[in-house]
């Protein structure tokens, strides 16, 4: 079986001590491809470097949790990087971009400005987007319609309603599911994963974040033992077992369907996989 992790922060500091071993474990587990999204203007070069080093792919953008600290020229840096690497086949999307109305203290207007401007950059580049969706689905959808964005992409860690899910699907998006699926109390997400069209599903880890149930540690436990509870891309096949369970699939079906959907969402990734 071959898997695609459509969202993994392989550049994160949590992987600095053993990044090569993390990659080796992922490949041994059957994870053939990983998409590494940038989160701010200062790690654009790093995600590209890692993608080329390990034959993975990457996305360029500024995450909504980082826009408060972004400098006045950071959008220009993203635009310049997209232009400079426009012919790089491993550059598959603009991301991680979006809106976060869960974390307190973030300026909604600043988030909206960065989101809309990066949608325009993606539209100009002809690239799909990796969208951060946290209590923001309706506002994200409104931005897509306002910009007239038609290149689709992935709604990462999707946790909205059935109606919002369908709205993203209607705009050409796939929905990312990961470690949250493994928790029996994640009733809404498990219900969504069971009922949306199979053509809308992609798998992701968001590693080192969103650990599956078997890796989860409380905040106190993580503070007492740093590194505990870290997610990594090699967990993807086991996480996908929860998707297979709610869909009534075999593991082979889950791998085939979600990998095909990832290739459909990210055309440059599909091009890399052609013989």
pLDDT in tens for each of the 275 residues of the chain? 899 999 999 999 999 999 999 999 999 999 999 999 999 999 999 999 999 999 999 999 999 999 999 999 999 999 999 999 999 999 999 999 999 999 999 999 999 999 999 999 999 999 999 999 999 999 999 999 999 999 999 999 999 999 999 999 999 999 999 999 999 999 999 999 999 999 999 999 999 999 999 999 887 777 667 667 899 999 999 999 999 999 999 999 999 999 999 999 999 999 998 76
List Cα–Cα distances, 38 to 7, 94, 108, 139, 174, in angstroms: 10, 9, 21, 22, 19
Query: In what side-by-side order are the strands of the sheet with 3-5?
Result: 3-5, 31-37, 57-60, 91-100, 129-134, 153-156, 173-177, 201-203
Position 272 scores a pLDDT of 94
Cβ-contact 218, 191 below 8 angstroms: no
Straight-line distance from the first to the last Cα atom of the chain, in angstroms, rounded to the nearest whole number: 18
CA distance 123 to 269: 18
Helix (H, G, I), strand (E, B) or coil at 235: helix
Q: What tokens appear for 32 in the block?
A: 């053939």
Helix, strand and coil percent figures for the chain, each rounded to 5: 50, 15, 35
Give me the DSSP letters along 72-136. TTHHHHHHHHHHHTTT-TTEEEEEEEEEE-SSTT--HHHHHHHHHHHHHHHHHHT--EEEEEES-
Confidence (pLDDT) at 81: 98
Beta carbons within 10 angstroms of residue 220's beta carbon: 8
**Residue 74 CB coordination number (10 Å):** 18
| Dist CA 103 CA 111 (whole Å) | 12
Q: What is the pLDDT of residue 218?
A: 81
CA–CA gap between residue 252 and residue 28 (Å, rounded): 16
Task: Report the alpha-carbon distance of residue 101 to residue 134 in Å, rounded.
Answer: 6
pLDDT for 1: 85
The predicted structure's pLDDT at residue 222: 73
Domains of the chain, start order: 3-272 (3.20.20.140)
Cα 60 to Cα 65: distance, rounded to the nearest angstrom? 15
> Helices 108-125 & 137-147, crossing angle to 10 degrees?
40
Element (H, E) at 51: helix 44-54
HSE (CB half, 13 Å, CA atoms) of 32? Answer: 14
């Amino acid at each position: 079986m071959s898997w695609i992790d459509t969202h993994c922060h392989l550049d994160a500091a949590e992987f600095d001590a053993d990044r090569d071993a993390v990659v080796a474990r992922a490949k041994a587990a059957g994870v053939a491809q990983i998409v590494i999204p940038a989160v701010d203007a200062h790690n654009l070069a790093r995600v590209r470097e890692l993608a080329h080093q390990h034959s993975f792919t990457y996305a360029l953008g500024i995450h909504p949790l980082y826009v408060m600290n972004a400098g006045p020229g950071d959008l220009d840096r993203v635009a310049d990087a997209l232009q400079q690497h426009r012919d790089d086949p491993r550059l598959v999307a603009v991301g991680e971009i979006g809106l976060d109305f869960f974390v307190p203290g973030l300026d909604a207007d600043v988030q909206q400005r960065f989101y809309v401007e990066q949608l325009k950059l993606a539209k100009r580049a002809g690239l799909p987007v990796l969208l951060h969706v946290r209590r923001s689905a309706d506002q994200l959808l409104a931005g897509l319609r306002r910009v007239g964005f038609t290149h689709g992409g992935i709604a990462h860690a999707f946790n909205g309603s059935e109606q919002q899910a369908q709205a993203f699907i209607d705009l050409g998006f796939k929905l990312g599911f990961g470690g949250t699926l493994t928790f029996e109390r994640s009733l809404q997400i498990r219900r969504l994963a069971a009922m949306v069209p199979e053509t809308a599903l992609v798998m992701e880890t968001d590693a080192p974040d969103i650990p599956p149930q078997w890796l989860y540690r409380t905040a106190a436990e993580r503070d007492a033992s740093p590194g505990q509870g870290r997610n990594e891309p090699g967990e993807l096949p086991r996480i996908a077992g929860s998707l297979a369970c709610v869909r009534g699939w075999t593991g082979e079906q889950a791998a085939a369907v979600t990998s095909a959907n990832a290739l459909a969402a990210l055309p440059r990734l599909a091009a890399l996989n052609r013989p």
